[in-house]
Structure 1
Amino acid sequence: MALLNSGDKVTDTLVIDRLLGEGAFAEVHRVRHAYLGLQAMKLFKRVASLEETDDMLGEARLLSTLGHANIVRLFDAGTVQTPEGLRGFFTMEYVPGGSLERLTTAYPRGVPTDVAVDVMEQIAGGLAVAHEQDPPIVHRDVTLANVLVGYDGSVMRVRVSDFGLAKRADPFTLMASARGTLVFMAPEVLGNQGYSCASDVWSVGTIAYLLLTNHFPYEDGVRFSSYSFSRFNRPLLPPSRYNDDVDPRLDEIVMATLELDPRNRPATAGVLAGALRGRRESGSRPSEERARRLAAEALRLHRVPGELPRATELMEEAIDLWPPLREHHQPRVRLWRRGVVM
């Protein structure tokens, strides 16, 4: 049973309209503001003291520092009396389009590539603002449910929401403790090695891969709750294997977000956003397209037993064909020549 119901007054100007959904830690209600219209309100379920209330409202304080078109806007925060006692809440903009989960159901055969890339760019743009803080703010729970899709007229606008697990990274290690939704978690997070900006990038890559292919990366046919590290032993197919509209540069960007070693991923969402912007602005030339496709094939092959020499040859050919690939891939080639797979 919900803590608050339709018609309940939160403040003198705020009234509950209806319940939108709930999770383990909070309920989300649509509320009506006397002057500002419809808003969304997050109401925390279990708060036993004023100190815990203050801790829960840390999300509101984080959001209030991140003014960006691709981050949900925060309006107000406070406490309200419920039948279960005093609970913390904050209000934010109401996005009637729903989450990315709803978007995926609208395209049962796969989200169009241009739409998927637009979503990826906007998520990265919003997270980049968080990652650029000092120390960085790491979201730790970037999932389909926590990305909202609305429209400004006919233009889609994506907003990253639910910073409920967000945490400022340790200023020395730039790592945050591991929490979040299992299927979108990076390998190092599943291994209890902590969360970093690169772990958020993995989550964005997981969303992009799913939107482009209708498959989760490293999918192994079992329930996501029972995912094991063994699935990472198989090579990851580039998105173009499932979707002919994915170009070599997009293949490379998405595959980079899903590198098992976080040191080989874009370090922050800002770096990822820059790569996506560069792809959009520069376009591709024939030699570049072939080089990137060769590089993508090399990345696929290098984890296949016995195929490392062939992968090395393909990557060297790609670098010769398009020298700008050298900076990113040459260190990998040196390791491959020594038989080292990272």
Structure 2
Amino acid sequence: ACKAVTKAIGSVSGYEQLQREIEILKKLRHRHAVQVLAVYETSRKVYMVMEYCAGGELLRGMREAGFPFDLSIIQLVIVNLLDVLKYLHDHGIVHRDIKPENILLHHALPQTHRSAAGGVGTALPDTPMYADRPLLHIKLSDFGLATYTTSCTMMDNVVGTPLYMAPEIVQNLGYSAGCDVWSVGVMLYLLLTGYARDTERLLHGMIQNGTIEYPDKIWSHVPPSARDLVQQMLQIDPAQRITAREALSHPW
């Protein structure tokens, strides 16, 4: 796969961010982070040859293959995502744009058949087709907004995708690595409730109002331990928010 970026004439900051993205990608050595294989530069463009992920975007790949949003699948996605975030944060890197579109499937998923009662909690078929490789192998991609930070550094530039942006970013209060955990919390909230458009709008409104609620209509089937993890990730106060390392040790 190749990512081509046109150099913006007169944009020093844009070129610096591009160089930072390349530098970060070259340093990454994690099985759940997309690898850059080569970089070529002309007077007008920069070409990044990236590791190819045949399965495409996570949600699209799951839906096209007829995969149910089974709890075990959601756990696998979140654990792998938290694992690469812990790696990034331990190395002083914040991604700043965690969202489903930036999570790729390394290989295409086998076609399955969703039952009439599909959705969260539907069991995956127990077949040999999954025995030779991981059922889902995700790769975090698009480090275009990634930057360096430390536990003592607070950033203040507003970047990211609105639905997944932490409150401290929106309110321009300064932020650090906790903004990535918030984004994963938003993803987990939506994955556990089926990723419906209505739920996206509901959650976005709650985030804007500064209060996250868990209506029984969409949460009654979710295990209490999973809900507890979401609640710890979606703490409005970043000082109270769980870290990626802590989340990996959560009982769920």
TM-score above 0.5, yes or no: yes
Structure-1 separation of matches of 2:149 and 2:213? 29
CA distance in structure 2 between the aligned counterparts of 1:139 and 1:239, rounded to whole angstroms: 33
Shift in Å at residue 43 of structure 1? 1.2
What residue number does 1:273 align with? 248
Q: Secondary structure at the match of 2:101?
A: coil
Which runs of no fewer than 5 residues in structure 2 stay unpaired? 108-131
**Corresponding position of 1:192:** 172
Identity rate of aligned residues, in percent?
28
Does the 8 Å CA contact 2:156/2:173 hold for their aligned counterparts?
no
**1:148-168 deviation line (CA, Å, top 9, x unaligned):** 112473531111111110011
Deviations 1:168-188 (A, max 9, x none): 126642435330101111111
Deviation at residue 60 of structure 1 after TM alignment: 1.6
Q: Map residues 1-342 of structure 1 onto 2, 5 A cutoff.
A: 40-48=1-9, 53=15, 55-80=17-42, 86-103=44-61, 105-106=63-64, 111-133=69-91, 136-151=92-107, 153-169=133-149, 172-175=152-155, 177-215=157-195, 221=201, 230-233=208-211, 235-237=212-214, 241-242=218-219, 244=221, 246-266=222-242, 268-275=243-250, 278-279=251-252
CA distance in 2, matches of 1:220, 1:159: 23
TM-score norm. by structure 2 comes to 0.77
In structure 2, the CA distance between the partners of 1:212 and 1:229, relative to structure 1 (3 Å rule), is: closer
Any idea what SS the aligned residue of 2:75 has? helix
Q: Comparing both chains, which one has the higher relative contact order based on Cα–Cα distances under 8 Å and sequence gaps of 6 or more?
A: 2
Residue 108 and residue 181 in structure 1: after superposition, are their counterparts in 2 closer, same or farther (change >3 A)?
A: farther
Instruction: Give the 4+ runs in structure 1 shifted more than 6 A.
Output: none
TM-score for the superposition, normalised by structure 1: 0.58
Contact 2:7/2:44 (8 A) holds in 1? no
In structure 2, do the counterparts of structure 1 residues 274 and 206 end up closer, same or farther at CA, with 3 Å as the change threshold? same
Residues 40-74 of structure 1: CA distance to partner in whole angstroms, max 9, x if unpaired?
11111343269654541211211222201111112
Residues paired across the two proteins, number: 227
Q: CA RMSD in A?
A: 3.1
Contiguous gaps of at least 5 residues in structure 1: 1-39, 280-342
- Measured in 2, the distance between the counterparts of 1:118 and 1:138 equals 22
Whole-angstrom distance in 1 between the partners of 2:197 and 2:11: 42
Which structure's CA Rg is the greater one? Answer: 1
- Quote the Cα distance in structure 2 between the aligned partners of 1:99 and 1:193: 32
SS at match of 2:210: helix
CA distance in 1, matches of 2:52, 2:93: 23
SS at match of 1:189: helix
Superposition deviation, residue 271 in structure 1: 2.0
